[in-house]
Structure 1
Amino acid sequence: MEKMPSLPSKQDSRELILVTGARGYIASQLIPRLLERGLRVRCLVRNPQHLHARQWFADVEVVCGDLTQPESILPALQGVSTAYYLVHSMSSGNHYIEQDLQVARSFAASALQAGVGHIIYLGGLADPQAKIARHMRSRILTGDALRTTDVPVTEFRTGVIVGPGSISFEMIRFLTEQFPLILCPRWMPNLSQPIAIQNILDYLLAALDMPNPESRVFEVGGSEVITYAETMLRYAKLRGLQRKLLILPINPVWLLAAFLANFTPVPASITRPLVEGLCNHSIVRNDSALQAFPHIHPMDYDTAVRDSLSKLDPRLVEPLWRQIKPAVHALKHAGFCILQRQTLLEANPGSVLEAIQLIYASGESYKLESSKGHETGSGHEHILLMRSKRKLPGQLWMEWRVSSLKKETRISQAVLFAPKGLPGFLWWCGLGPWLRLSQWVAFRKLLRQVDKV
């Protein structure tokens, strides 16, 4: 069990909450809200280093464990009052259903043994009586598996989640931004009930306040039912883009999966089950959630999208690029195309920061937006964030991070570009080689400047 110095003592009487899947999108949004409530939060992850870049890392307790290994689950559950179950095994291969169910049963049994009072699970929204995709069937059966013991389980079933970093929303965003004519499979007229990430968090937190929790299933969605096609067309309208859809008479799942893996942030390991899951309607058939939680008012789709677009800022999204360890790495995340380069130096961190500030002191190309330091799991880190002054088909940012390690200083530079429509993506793709060269030149210039300081 890994603890940070700032953590409360063992005598802390505050309620202890366990969050599984702490690296995931939902957990990363939920954990700050739990901390705001004054709750103690324990995160279960395979590798604690994956959480070091999170702003809340120093405020939580981290347990190193693997849900597929039952012996590592029980220690994580000791003293826990409520456990959030926010994991799935889609990326583990063709036998992910069997693994999902085995892990859920093992977790429920360990929770009972540890005296956990409540499990809160976020599953998938589909009609269990219909013929549905394996991925959706697995999410529903996982809820059943968690209910195999006497520990009460509150299950929320949801479909498309609208929020920056949500896999389903990023798929909509990147496809709509890039292609004026979007070729779509025949399931695009299927019905969906997209829900804002804010409302998902409202439900997950409201479940904590249930005085005498009992096992119940709640279907949750936004305030309106629309087609998958409408999710893209309405996103385009809000962004000021002209888009048309061409519905194909076939459902080439393998081709769509490969397409998503190349043109969106959706990981290749889950594209196929994700595409299969979209072949069904995903709407609320039972409004018990509205009755049980009347204080929660689901947003409409347009409001949820506007809220997500307002967060198109590196300071307002989870900084997943800071977890990347390779010297050079490119990724797509939360509306951004990102290119990061990093290196290690035997230099004083203060000298490196001063050198960076001297290089950009003129302010001709970039405006300094923020400069702040904080503690991470490996030492002190200072971040300089700058925004480009150039008129571009999108927003261009540059982030410098200077991290103090035991004997060295790690310097990381990330170029973040939020493209606007096809021109933005063409600009980014066309300048890819130039950006890599300019990053290298910037690093060489920095090294020379450090020697002068």
Structure 2
Amino acid sequence: MGATGHLGSRLVPQLLARDHQVAVLVRDGTQATLFPTNVMVHVGDAKDPRAVRKALTGNDVVYFLVHSLDRPDFAEADREAAAVLATAAEKAEVRQIVYVGGPRPDSPAPSAHLASRAEVGDVLAAGRVPALVLQASMAIGNGSTSFELLRSSVRLTPWVAVPSWMNNTSWPVADTDVVHFLVAAADLAEPVDGVFDVRGPEQLSYLELVQRCARVLRLPVRLPVPAPVWSHKLAAWAAGLVTPVAAGVAESLFESLDHDLPSDGRPVTDVLPAPPGGMTSVDNAIRAATTPEADKTGGEVFTEERTVLTDASPEDVWRTVNALGGKDGWHTIPLVWTVRGAIDHLLGGIGLYRGRAPEVGEGDVVDFWTVVHRDDEAKRLVLRADMKMPGHTVLDMRVDREGGRTRYRQKITFTADGFLGQLYWVAQKPLHDVVFATMARGIVRKASTA
């Protein structure tokens, strides 16, 4: 149920790919054309007991992905649909119910949206059929209402209103990871009854999420503007004008930002396997949900390489390299990157975004760089600069041994974009050499004091 929604439309093809037989319940018969011919399509209302029971007959697992946020009585509608499902699942001898809801804030008065999500989970859990209730914060993916609201706002305005609730935090998760767990639930050896958290790898405030989205989209840092009277209704009205999300839906979502959304319950990995390679980073989730820009290529290539030997262990040097950016900085001349970032911002670039995930991998952002490659075994990290410049810059850092000492190698490769790019390289070369030489020495000095 909910097969035409954001998660459901991604779940169905994944189940089919694993040779599961799939049946769906849709309200409108014309929606049958959305599914392959090997999907059994039932037409009916999710609140109609007969239609629901007919759709469930012969099925082992039922997914409840219904969400009526686009109607004013969404809480009542979803509660009724959940009660119908719980009863029908028992009569149809379904062995497992799977539901995706939201986190439960530690608040005596949660928003209507979050309260409804929790209530639906409780209704399903109270039934006799085991219910696997998954609690997830914002699902980052193309078509997710919450993410569309975020992405559209970031793209359309160079500033961001910052009422107090923008500092509340959550654990956003890639929609591909949520779908992974939904698919895995179909293969459970035994039914599972309980509530589990589907948590992304990083806790971010909503303001940090706005800036992270802008950074991945290669947009300048959004200018924070204090907004003590920026109510949810006003924010929703503005969103309704400039985003594809209806004002009524946006208001319900904004109201949920009044709470920190914790993820301190039982992790879903207690009962379901984690995605291959682990949970998707926030940066890569945002990137996968947007159209990537093509990288600049071609032109004359300039390189500059330096090596520093140290008595610090390779592990300490590698740890320092992996912590570059964000609060740890770049161990170079103070304020030099701040000035460069300010210039880039004035030119319409990303500016000096000071932020990064605790652990970064390929595709993640580190301030004004993007991770191109990371190899922990070979101790190599490759970053691509994303500031505006007439060319393409790559920073390649490696750590290995030379004799009985540790060698840190740092290589800059600049691919010039025509004659202007060549002039740029020559003009900035003197300062460039000082900045990156200082950085190389600063990295090994930091590692030596670790």
- Relative to the length of structure 1, the TM-score reads 0.61
User: Quick one: structure 1 residues 202 and 69, their matched pair in 2 at CA, closer, same or farther if it must change by over 3 Å?
Assistant: same
User: Quick one: structure 1 residues 144 and 214, their matched pair in 2 at CA, closer, same or farther if it must change by over 3 Å?
Assistant: same
Superposed, 1:30-109 pairs within 5 Å as 30-52=11-33, 54=34, 56-93=35-72, 95-109=73-87
Q: Which amino acid aligns with 1:309?
A: T
Superposed displacement of residue 260, structure 1:
1.5
Superposed displacement of residue 59, structure 1:
3.1
Q: How far apart are the structure 2 equivalents of 1:290 and 1:33?
A: 20
State the identity %. 31
Q: How far apart are the structure 2 equivalents of 1:215 and 1:128?
A: 23
Match of 1:152 in 2: 130
Question: Could you tell me which of 268, 272, 276 is aligned with 1:293?
Answer: 272
Superposed, 1:38-437 pairs within 5 Å as 38-52=19-33, 54=34, 56-93=35-72, 95-127=73-105, 130-242=108-220, 243-296=222-275, 297-310=278-291
Contact 1:162 1:197 in 2 (8 A): yes
Q: Which amino acid aligns with 2:179?
A: L
Q: After superposition, what is the alpha-carbon deviation per residue over 1:338-357, rounded to whole angstroms, capped at 9, x for unaligned?
A: xxxxxxxxxxxxxxxxxxxx
Q: After superposition, what is the alpha-carbon deviation per residue over 1:226-265, rounded to whole angstroms, capped at 9, x for unaligned?
A: 1111111011112221121213113412111111222112
Q: How far apart are the structure 2 equivalents of 1:180 and 1:86?
A: 35
Question: Could you tell me which of 24, 27, 38 is aligned with 2:8?
Answer: 27
Q: Secondary structure at the match of 2:135?
A: strand
Q: Which amino acid aligns with 1:180?
A: P
Superposed displacement of residue 304, structure 1:
1.1
Superposed displacement of residue 283, structure 1:
2.9
Q: Secondary structure at the match of 2:80?
A: helix
Q: Secondary structure at the match of 1:62?
A: strand
User: Quick one: structure 1 residues 187 and 82, their matched pair in 2 at CA, closer, same or farther if it must change by over 3 Å?
Assistant: same
Q: How far apart are the structure 1 equivalents of 2:69 and 2:27?
A: 17
Q: After superposition, what is the alpha-carbon deviation per residue over 1:290-346, rounded to whole angstroms, capped at 9, x for unaligned?
A: 333353321221121122225799xxxxxxxxxxxxxxxxxxxxxxxxxxxxxxxxx
Q: Secondary structure at the match of 2:89?
A: helix
Unaligned runs of 5+ in 2: 295-450
User: Quick one: structure 1 residues 299 and 66, their matched pair in 2 at CA, closer, same or farther if it must change by over 3 Å?
Assistant: same
User: Quick one: structure 1 residues 169 and 289, their matched pair in 2 at CA, closer, same or farther if it must change by over 3 Å?
Assistant: same
Q: After superposition, what is the alpha-carbon deviation per residue over 1:331-385, rounded to whole angstroms, capped at 9, x for unaligned?
A: xxxxxxxxxxxxxxxxxxxxxxxxxxxxxxxxxxxxxxxxxxxxxxxxxxxxxxx
Superposed displacement of residue 51, structure 1:
4.5
Superposed displacement of residue 39, structure 1:
0.9
Q: Which amino acid aligns with 1:284?
A: S
User: Quick one: structure 1 residues 307 and 24, their matched pair in 2 at CA, closer, same or farther if it must change by over 3 Å?
Assistant: same
User: Quick one: structure 1 residues 311 and 240, their matched pair in 2 at CA, closer, same or farther if it must change by over 3 Å?
Assistant: closer
Q: After superposition, what is the alpha-carbon deviation per residue over 1:104-153, rounded to whole angstroms, capped at 9, x for unaligned?
A: 11110011011111100000113255431011011001011112221000
Q: Secondary structure at the match of 2:117?
A: helix
Contact 2:195 2:266 in 1 (8 A): no
Q: How far apart are the structure 1 equivalents of 2:69 and 2:42?
A: 23
User: Quick one: structure 1 residues 40 and 293, their matched pair in 2 at CA, closer, same or farther if it must change by over 3 Å?
Assistant: closer
Match of 1:356 in 2: none
Q: How far apart are the structure 1 equivalents of 2:242 and 2:65?
A: 26
Q: How far apart are the structure 2 equivalents of 1:128 and 1:114?
A: 36
Q: How far apart are the structure 2 equivalents of 1:129 and 1:206?
A: 32
User: Quick one: structure 1 residues 22 and 182, their matched pair in 2 at CA, closer, same or farther if it must change by over 3 Å?
Assistant: same
Q: Secondary structure at the match of 1:58?
A: coil
Q: How far apart are the structure 2 equivalents of 1:63 and 1:311?
A: 38
Q: How far apart are the structure 2 equivalents of 1:73 and 1:290?
A: 30
Q: Secondary structure at the match of 1:246?
A: strand
Q: Which amino acid aligns with 1:258?
A: W
Contact 1:162 1:305 in 2 (8 A): yes
Q: How far apart are the structure 1 equivalents of 2:84 and 2:41?
A: 20
Q: How far apart are the structure 2 equivalents of 1:294 and 1:71?
A: 35
Q: How far apart are the structure 2 equivalents of 1:247 and 1:60?
A: 51
Q: Which amino acid aligns with 1:157?
A: Q
Superposed displacement of residue 216, structure 1:
0.9
Superposed displacement of residue 287, structure 1:
4.4
Contact 1:86 1:121 in 2 (8 A): yes
Q: Secondary structure at the match of 2:245?
A: coil
Q: How far apart are the structure 2 equivalents of 1:90 and 1:31?
A: 22
Superposed displacement of residue 25, structure 1:
0.7
